[in-house]
Homo-oligomer: A and B are copies of this chain.
Amino acid sequence: MEGMAKAMYRFAKRFDGVGGSEIRKIFSLLGVPGMISFAGGNPSPDLFPSETLAEISEEIIAEQGKSVLQYGGTLGVAQFIELLKVRNADIMKEDDDLVVISGSSQGIDFFAHTMIEPGDVMLAESPSFLGALQTFRLADAQIRTVPMQNDGVDTTLLEEQIKKYKPKFFYTIPTFQNPSGITMSAEKRQQVYDICSKYGVLILEDDPYAELRYSGEPLRSIKALDNSGIVCKLSSFSKTISPGLRVGYAIANRDIIAKFNLLKQGADVHTSNLTQTMVMEFLKRGYYDDHVKMLCREYKKQRDAMCEAIDKHFPDGVQRTDPQGGLFVWVTLPAGMDSRKLFEACVAQKVAFVSGPPFYADGGHENTLRMNFSMPSIPDIEKGVERMGRIIREFV
């Protein structure tokens, strides 16, 4: 037996052209000492409620070990599901159900596999979350896009794309979008819902940042408008409590959740009972609201520092979004500039961000980039943005 040549692996075609996240490739650069990074999308580890979670986990394993360490129901811990339903009473419809998932990414994956046959078309915002774009590609979807405006997706083009491509669903991150930081206005939420409902196009509403609002008024979830069972809403505790626990949830019509249930039996049987129960107790014991308030207070300072520093240090002709919450500011350089070249120059001077093109399913937009403000300290934000500003001026 001479050994099997690598070439003999006949991988499924869905991997063709899927190269993995460009962000992941950047991450190896970020360990360089002294690097100021605006590249990540992580919540601040300084703000994790470690002490409380340590206490909770010790207690529930010691007292409820027989259940939290055992296999559980595929939809989630029953008591946790009930709690989440109560908390979401304003958006849940009579025919809706709820499933706990291992982060909202899993919900994107399940929704894609629930709806997409190889070659089916779906719509995404442009730009959009690149992890989701990769998931849609691996689910053999054809991605068509709809450009973003300052108050959310361009609804005229949304309707045109729907008429043209008859997509299965429209993927949107309406609140403090990753990567753009843009929030869809109340008017557009209604328009998007009405258009999709008219043409029978489902909406996948990915809303993990919604509670991280630092200014402006809260807006209703698109799911709250849903009288026809077309919206599947994904929420997550990754940005508010801890991403390391991998706990989120999906709300949709029970026929859709039934498909999620089948997929989840194969995916991971169920989300960890321990991490579910930890999140449940964090909510039940009343820590959550104060914790989120604290997060908003702290992140607001970081957002303000970043926006002010950009306005001060970046040259005229550079535009930025004005995020009311979330983790990101989106920057548009003067036309003709290439953010990938800028990236190389910046990394050489120890400041990093993420270049924009990977967030566009159709490519292009070389002059865009994403900057995260939740991970760096305020002094680092000021220092890093100033440094970036200097380098951009050399490019202009």
What's the interface size class on A, roughly? 35 or more
Answer whether residue A109 sits at the interface, using C-beta atoms and an 8 A cutoff: yes
A1-40 interface code vs B (CB 8 A; 1 in, 0 out):
1111010111111110010110010000000000000000
A181 CB, min distance to chain B CBs, angstroms: 19
Residues of B within 8 A of A268 (CB): 102-103, 105-106, 246, 267-268
In the complex the two chains form, is A118's CB within 8 Å of B118's CB?
yes
Answer whether residue A363 sits at the interface, using C-beta atoms and an 8 A cutoff: no
Interface residues of A in 187-213 (CB under 8 A from B): 194, 197-198, 200, 202
A306 CB, min distance to chain B CBs, angstroms: 20
A77 CB, min distance to chain B CBs, angstroms: 10
Which residue of B has the minimal Cβ distance to A267?
B109
Residues of B within 8 A of A53 (CB): 61, 65, 69
A243 CB, min distance to chain B CBs, angstroms: 4
- The number of times this chain is found in the oligomer is 2
Answer whether residue A165 sits at the interface, using C-beta atoms and an 8 A cutoff: no
Residues of B within 8 A of A269 (CB): 103, 105, 131, 243, 246
Kindly specify which of A42-50, A145-153, A155-163, A293-301 makes contact with the partner chain: A42-50
Residues of B within 8 A of A266 (CB): 105, 108-109, 131, 134-135, 138
A267-279 interface code vs B (CB 8 A; 1 in, 0 out):
1111111110000
In the complex the two chains form, is B12's CB within 8 Å of A113's CB?
yes
Residues of B within 8 A of A103 (CB): 268-269
In the complex the two chains form, is A51's CB within 8 Å of B62's CB?
yes
A271 CB, min distance to chain B CBs, angstroms: 7
Answer whether residue A117 sits at the interface, using C-beta atoms and an 8 A cutoff: yes
Interface residues of A in 47-95 (CB under 8 A from B): 48, 50-51, 53-55, 57-59, 61-62, 65-72, 74
Residues of B within 8 A of A10 (CB): 115, 168
Answer whether residue A180 sits at the interface, using C-beta atoms and an 8 A cutoff: no
Which A residues are closer than 8 A to B by beta carbons?
A: 1-4, 6, 8-15, 18, 20-21, 24, 42-43, 45-46, 48, 50-51, 53-55, 57-59, 61-62, 65-72, 74, 102-103, 105-106, 108-109, 113-118, 131, 134-135, 138, 168, 194, 197-198, 200, 202, 227-230, 238, 242-246, 253, 255-256, 259, 261-263, 265-275
